[in-house]
Chains A and B, each alone.
Chain A
Amino acid sequence: MLKYIAKRFGQIFILFYVFLALLFLLLDLQPGDISQQFVGNPNIPPEAKEIMVRQLGLDQPKIVQLGNHLWNYSFGMDMGVSWSSYPREVSDILFSALPRTVFLFLTATVMSFWLGFYTGKLVAWRRGTFIEKSAMVTSIFFWTVFYPWFAILMLWFFASQLGWFPIGKFISVEKWIGAPYAADDVFMLMLGTIALVTLVYGVARYVIDRSSDDPQTRRNFHRLALWSLAGIAGAFWAFSARRTYAGDILWHTFVPVLTLTLVNFAGTTLLTRSSMLETLREDYILTARAKGVPERTIRDRHAARNAMLPVTTSLVLQLAVVIAGGVITEQIFSWPGLGRALLGAITAEDIPVAMGALALIGILSLLAHLVADITYAFLDPRIRVQG
């Protein structure tokens, strides 16, 4: 299995370089340049443009620029200097946006996967019933709804009509004015807590599985581990001075995550349904039924677990949809992540930032692919045993 993972890692690494080179060529071909930034301003004389071009190194030969670029991207993530926020480092701008996007993206992916898988399983099991039909219609509606419009409706409904949630944004101004913590730090701490809880829970499960053979005991310990971890994390935050700030961030997260989840869960639902239907025709399901295994056990253990395999693979394809939706989500909910950095750079014709944002989104989807590959390797016994 390690060999498999190493191989995939190597492949993805090479692909990334090809991607970077293509990206540079693509963006270099575009018609505008920095000197046209000033076209809209009648007060700026032409000499000012020349100075800017020289300062940004645009007078160097293209091949030198490309070489520099690949080199800089690989060693130290130097993506150059922004044109519209001159002379800030692109990486500085983007790395502050990255965690926010990762958070939105991860939460929405996990939530929509969970919701989609659960609904899909149910729908396949209840084939032909009213529940199936209504669930299918709902799924297809969300799968095909025009996302930006839906997002604005959600904003209007939750923030304006009900007034339960804020109108977009990342944090409340009133709460954060002169806050003793930087929003990014609190945010990173929150992400860190989630990561730590997940990691410790994973290790705990591994230990529990190794030390006990009785499924019932294992299950109880799993639950105990989860609850105690959640308790510890909850207590940490409850007694932390940062709690109101963390709460504020969560409060702002709710509607965007909900919207993104609703729009994305349907893909998983539809896929799980197909996958379940295929699995349910397998002989071992028949065998299980003949043995008198309870229906629920057949559904959840025998069918769903096997149906999950192709769904996980296709998660890779789903990721693209989540990323795409993420860009629009960030725009409508004023969420200062990578997608908005990208859109802002396009409007301001800030080529280095646009290129950097696209590259980072690329890396993000690349890492997600790798994770999906590894998960797949764990789930598929053929690969697991081989390695």
Chain B
Amino acid sequence: MADILTPPTERLDGFDPSAVLEEPLWRIRLRLSWRSFRKNWALFSDNKMGIVGILIIALFGIMALAHPVLMATVWQDHLEGGKNVYDIRAGADSIIVTKTIVEEVTDPVTQISQIEAMFLGTGVSIPEIGDTIEAPLANPAPPVLSGVDHPHILGTDPFGGDVFSQLLFGARAAFLLGAIAALSSVALATLVGTIAAYFGGVIDTLLMRLADLVILIPLLPLLIVVSGFWNVELTMLGILIGVLGGLGGTAIILKSQALSVKVKPFIDAARIAGGGHWRIITRHIIPNVLPLSFLYMMFAVTGAIFTEAALSFLGLLNIQQSWGIMINIAHTQGYTLEGLDVWWLMLPAGLSITLFSAGFFLVGRAMDEVVNPRLRKR
């Protein structure tokens, strides 16, 4: 399986290559890697869905990069009360106007109903019809507001924050979380899997029982408890998801892969040539397990994003801003039922979660077909 990327017959480690070849070793490796990359890319690009996935991820990548750039350039000087209105948490562009309290609102820009004026008051006194009141023009403000020129491409959230800025920042948070979770998960799983496979015996049993234990623990309920009692932030969450994911199912799958590599002749050859345990594991087994690890990294991202969003939705996380928080705020402020009337509050964030997860998922599926030749069409 793993011999697709670096076929064992072409691997020359353990021998003394300089005796045979004139080229330096690193160049051979590079060339071989390039060759296998091209071959795999050809296989990968066969799969339309994989390409779609790559494009989606690229789009979010651009979004994530765009946020700091925009903050430093175009969005630099939009201050209100000393804070940038594009600030992802503190930013508030309230577009306050003076409205007259009337019985029947005919012009929402200059008029407000008595009840809505009461919502803005202290609740002690009932506002009189005919009085004027300082009120937000529209709350939350839609992207296009007739008669008003405001600089919010996707409108504002219930607290006057710029939705587009939050959305871009959300991509950053998602990549950060995904990267932390995926890397820690897969690094751990690869290590645990190969060590278990290579040494076998007691170590194997212990590690695999640990994996069983971790699979047994229902992840989301556990994280609900942890984040309910502790102050869980983005990095911490990423590591938690990563560790729990990496010690569980992924470790078992990667172990079986490592096991199939371990019995290959070139491992024996390396051992005969005097390679130590650590060298054999890091130089021979892990590189052959990596393609599969990489595949599971993609799935780990999907899982991490979903988990973060679900926990944020339940109001249990302490995260500055993320897609999950955007939905949580819209939901706790009661805009869920407004549906498409305030589409900019939930739809962009909700779609982003779905698309972002789908992007990594699709790439994962396509990679699966590369790594696993039996799934291929040809």
Contacts and interface: CB of A to CB of B under 8 A. Distances in A.
Interface of A: 11-12, 14-16, 18-19, 26-27, 30-32, 127-128, 136, 140-141, 143-149, 152, 156, 160, 270, 274, 277-278, 281, 316-317, 320, 323-324, 327-328, 331, 339, 342-343, 346-347, 349, 351, 354-355, 357-358, 361-362, 365-366, 369
Contacts of A152: 331, 336-337
Interface string B220-233: 11101110111000
Interface stretch (B71-79, B160-168, B211-219): B211-219
Interface stretch (B84-92, B194-202, B278-286, B350-358): B350-358
A14 B313 CA distance: 35
Given A19-B213, A146-B354, A149-B346, A323 B221 contact: yes
Contact of A361 (B212, B221, B307, B353): B221
Interface string B337-356: 10100000010001001110
Nearest to B312: A148
B216 A324 contact: no
Contacts of A278: 372, 374-375
B302 A320 contact: no
Nearest to B48: A133
Interface residues of B, number: 47
B220 A327 contact: yes
Majority SS of interface residues in chain B?
helix
B230 A31 contact: yes
Q: Which has the most chain A C-beta neighbours within 10 Å: B209, B224, B226, B357?
A: B224
A45 B327 CA distance: 39
Contact of B362 (A128, A140, A145, A369): A140
A141 B49 CA distance: 13
B249 interface: yes
Nearest to A338: B221
Q: Which has the most chain A C-beta neighbours within 10 Å: B225, B327, B336?
A: B225
B298 to A, nearest CB: 12
A330 B331 CA distance: 17
A346 B377 CA distance: 50
Contacts of B336: 149, 152, 156
Nearest to B360: A144
Interface of B: 49, 209, 212-213, 215-222, 224-226, 228-230, 249, 302, 306-307, 309-310, 313-314, 316, 327, 331, 336-337, 339, 346, 350, 353-355, 357-358, 361-362, 365, 368, 372, 374-375, 377
Contacts of A317: 215, 249
Contact of A15 (B216, B355, B361, B365): B216
Contacts of A144: 302, 306, 353-355, 357-358, 361
B196 to A, nearest CB: 16
Contacts of A351: 229
Contacts of B221: 323-324, 327, 339, 342, 357-358, 361
Contacts of B365: 270
B216 A26 contact: no
A140 B358 contact: yes
Q: Which has the most chain B C-beta neighbours within 10 Å: A144, A323, A331, A349?
A: A144
Nearest to B230: A30
A369 B212 CA distance: 10
A97 to B, nearest CB: 13
A30 B316 CA distance: 14
Nearest to B221: A361
Contact of B224 (A18, A316, A343, A362): A343
Contacts of B374: 277-278, 281
Contacts of B226: 26
Contacts of B353: 144, 146
A143 B310 contact: no
B224 A141 contact: no
Contacts of A11: 209, 212
Contacts of B219: 320, 324
Please give me the 10 A-B residue pairs with the lowest Cβ-Cβ distance, nearest first.
Answer: A346-B228, A30-B229, A324-B220, A144-B357, A144-B358, A146-B353, A148-B313, A278-B374, A323-B218, A146-B350
A278 to B, nearest CB: 5
Contacts of A354: 225, 228
B18 to A, nearest CB: 42
Contacts of B372: 274, 278
Contact of A147 (B310, B316, B362): B310
Contacts of B309: 146, 148
A66 to B, nearest CB: 17
A26 B362 CA distance: 36
A30 B362 CA distance: 39
Given A281-B374, A343-B224, A365-B218, 9 more contacts: A19-B213, A26-B226, A30-B230, A31-B229, A141-B358, A144-B357, A324-B218, A327-B221, A328-B313
B350 A324 contact: no
Nearest to A319: B218
Contacts of A145: 354
A12 to B, nearest CB: 8
A327 B224 contact: yes
